[in-house]
Each structure stands twice: as C-alpha cells, then as structure tokens.
Amino acid sequence: MAKDGTPLPPYFNIDPDAALSDLDLPTGSEGFAAIAQACGQGRSDLASRGMDEQGRKSLRLFSTWEITRYLIPVAQAHFRRVLKQNPDLPQGQSESEGGAKWFTLDEVLRLRAFFGAQGSKAKNYLPYRPAGLPAKIVAVANFKGGVGKTSTAAHLAMSAALDGYKVLVIDLDSQGSMTSIFGGQIEDEWQTAFPLLARHYAEYLRLENQRRLDRGDPPQPLDEALSTALDMTVGDVIQKTHWPNIDLIGAQLNLYWAEFQIPVWRMQARGWKLWDALTDRLEMDGVLDDYDLVFIDTPPALGYLTINGLAAADILLVPMGASFLEFDSTGRFFDMLHSTFVSIEEGENVAARALGRPEMAFEWDAVRAVITRYDGAQQGELAALMQAYLGETLSPHRQDFTALIGQAGEQVNGIYEADYRDFNRETYARGREAFDATYAAFKRLLLGVWRRAELAEQQAAE
C-alpha cells in the first residue's frame, strides 16, 4: 500500500517463487492436441443445446400474436376469422384448452401463401421477387474477427426466411460457426464446398488434357480426389436445416485444407480461373434457380475461399464496429480487395487483349459497410465521422447491441429462434427491433438491386 493509503497496482510486489508455484509444466506440440480436445468437447456440449435426442435442432413454434405482428400483416381478429372460414388451412395447436394457438414456420409459410393469393392486393403478403431472375448472392466479409460477421449473416438469412424467401447458406469459414448455428453435421471436407471447387478444377484439367493430347503432349493425371469430385454436384453437399426454407452447405476444420490445395492446382494449371469456381458450380447446378437468396459467410482473411465467395457475390456486406481500430482495419480490407481483384483483372486482360477477346471486370450490384454492436451513447460521434468519410458505402442503419442478442448466443441460437416467453415481451420486442431494422435496410438494398435488374431486362426486350 502506498504512503497515502491507496492500494498499489496489482503488478507490484509479485513474488517470483509464488509465481513459479502457479506455473504448470512447459507445453509441447502434443499439448495443443489436449487443449483442442477439451475445446472440442466443450464446443460439442454447447452446440448440443436445443437439440433433441437424435442430435437435431428444431425450430420453435410461432404464436398468433407473433405471426400477426411480425410475419403476416393482418389483425389478429381477421386472422382467426380466416382460419375459421377455411378449415383446410393450418389451425395451429394449443398448449392448453382455449389457449393461444401456435404454428410451425412451415404452417406460417402456407398461411402467407394463402393470404398472398386471397388477401388484399394493397398489402405485401409475399416478398418481392422478380420472375425469371436468378437468386441474389450475398457475401458477408471482413478481415477483423469479432465484428459480428457470422451473426449478421445468420440473422439476415433467418430474417429473409421469416419473410418468405427460400435461402441457401454457404459457410466458407473452417471454424464452422455458421454451421453450428444451423445445426449442421459435417464429417469432413467432402461435405463442404471443397468438392465443388475441386470439380471446377478437374473439369478444367480434363479439357486442358484434351488440348494436350491434340498437341501430342502427355496429359496431366487426375488423382483420386479429383476423379471423385467430378461425380459430385452442389446437391450432394446441401443439407436441410431445422428451418423449412433454409438449406446449408456447411464447414468444418478440414475445409481450411483448400487454402493449401488451391494454389497447388493453380501452379499446375495457370489458365484455371479459380475465382470463378464457386460461381460456375452454383450456376451450372441450378442453385440460383432453386433459391431466392444465397448468403456466404467468409473466413476473416482474404484467402482463396474468401476470393471465391466475394467473386460469386452480387451484394457485399462488410460488418464493422464504430471504433478507430475497426475503421482502420476495414479500410485496409477494402485496399486489399482493390489490389486483389485489380490484379486478377490485369492478369486476365493481358491475354484477352492479345487474343482480341472481351476484357473482364468484376462488378458488384451493391457494397455496404454496416456498423454492428453499436452503442449510441458512446459511439455516436465516431459513427457520424465514419459516415462522413464513407458516404453511401456505409449504411445509415446502425445495428444496436442488445441483451437479447447475448442471451440467444449463449444457447447457440439466433434471436429469431428465441422464445419470447423467456423474456419480458417488451424486452423481446426492443431486442428484436435491432435485427428487424438491419433486415429492413438490407431488404431495401436487395429490392433496389432486383428492380434495377428487372427494368434492365424489360428494356433489353423492347
């Protein structure tokens, strides 16, 4: 204690012998295996929360109050009247005689379709989706971890599903957090996006081998992995989730192997356009016709998997916190995006100009940075400055952090999976507003992008 009676900082007067007594033995390489095993067990135990006896997640039911407030824009009295007049529609189930009616999301989707066909034409019961246009692909990316990247992607996917869209989620992050949220069971890399990239390379190599044979050169052999990948489609790696209108291509640790394998393939075949691998497979296997939206959760690094996700995307969302370090990191992320994609364009266009072919250029329908985990009382000034510098690139909507998000996260769930009866109803409503507003801002962006494409098609047809 100091002479004035105030306690000294805790880093003073630490006894070396006492510190030694607290120290465990040195750690070797095998020590990492033990730590990983302990984390793996904990991860498995935590991820099992909310699962049934078969190890599957199930989606909660939705009450009449929740349906009419958040999902189908009708008054409760009218909703009940329509159900009574149409006994063939889902009638819900009550937990007690005369109690509130609860519905599965599947039933909610059927009810929304009925109201869309039979209800007032002045209301938007069904989400806007231009006929004949492919699904929009949305990549969520940033260098920095902890900015809410996976949480933002997962909640946007859930919001879109509740809105009536059919959604595919692709997890390209080998940490597999998105996969855990949606209850995916991934045994190895052959249940991830890896075989889709491998097939794209194998198909290129097969064509190149034909050209080599035509020139009288020996072909490059296709190893067992590439031969296996040639027999696989996107449908082979898509899993159903506990959401009736959300499917998943999951990830697990072995997916990281792709970051080492892809450059080997690229060295063996310089003409292979690795950045087109995911895009081409999604298009060729009809995925963009089967879904309305595809959300891609990328790793927190600009590696080959992230490049594939970004190159495939129509819309790029970049979550970031309202702090100097995250603003700085995000700026560097955009700088790396510029360097990477300009480098690809320049390399491809040298050959294109020499051969008289059209030059290539990457293009995204929309790019938006989104402030997450926002605290208006502490971060308002800095957020305003960031808005001034970034302009339209920074979404004016700022996603507040609420206690509901943290509590749902403890259960490895999204907030839309949380039963509002576990909270004060107003607490639930306030907490939900944060992600409802995030989805509203995203949906406005999506609808603008779709409408622009729709009008362009109409103009081209004239």
Tokens of 71: 């999902």
Question: Where do the DSSP E strands lie in 356-403?
Answer: 366-374, 394-400
Of 19 and 84, the structure prediction assigns the larger pLDDT to 84
Sign, CA dihedral 444-448-450-451, equals positive
The C-alpha atoms of residue 176 and residue 145 are separated, in whole angstroms, by: 14
Give the per-residue pLDDT at 43.
Answer: 65
The C-alpha atoms of residue 415 and residue 394 are separated, in whole angstroms, by: 24
Give the per-residue pLDDT at 407.
Answer: 53
Q: What percent of the chain has pLDDT over 90?
A: 53
Write down the pTM of the prediction.
Answer: 0.89
Tokens of 10: 């805790």
Give the per-residue pLDDT at 423.
Answer: 75
Where does the pLDDT of residue 103 fall: very low under 50, low under 70, confident under 90, or very high at 90 and above? very high
Where does the pLDDT of residue 433 fall: very low under 50, low under 70, confident under 90, or very high at 90 and above? confident
Where does the pLDDT of residue 38 fall: very low under 50, low under 70, confident under 90, or very high at 90 and above? confident
What is the overall mean pLDDT for the chain? 88
Give the per-residue pLDDT at 234.
Answer: 96
Mean pLDDT of 435-457: 93
Cβ atoms of 306 and 148 closer than 8 Å: no
Per-residue model confidence as pLDDT tens digits over 304-350 = 999 999 999 999 999 998 889 888 989 999 999 999 999 999 988 98
Residue 14 has pLDDT above 80, yes or no: yes
Mean pLDDT of 275-292: 96
List C-alpha distances in Å: 156 to 18, 152, 224, 330, 458.
51, 6, 38, 21, 29
DSSP, collapsed to helix, strand or coil, labels residue 401 as: coil
Give the per-residue pLDDT at 115.
Answer: 93
Q: Which of 173, 458, 117 is nearest to 308 (CA)?
A: 173
Candidate ranges 103-117, 147-161, 375-389; pick with highest mean pLDDT: 103-117
The C-alpha atoms of residue 301 and residue 448 are separated, in whole angstroms, by: 29
Sign, CA dihedral 436-439-444-447, equals negative
Residue 60 has pLDDT above 80, yes or no: yes
Per-residue model confidence as pLDDT tens digits over 106-156 = 999 999 999 999 877 778 899 999 999 999 999 999 987 777 888 889 999
The C-alpha atoms of residue 382 and residue 350 are separated, in whole angstroms, by: 43
Beta bridge partners of 295: 138, 169
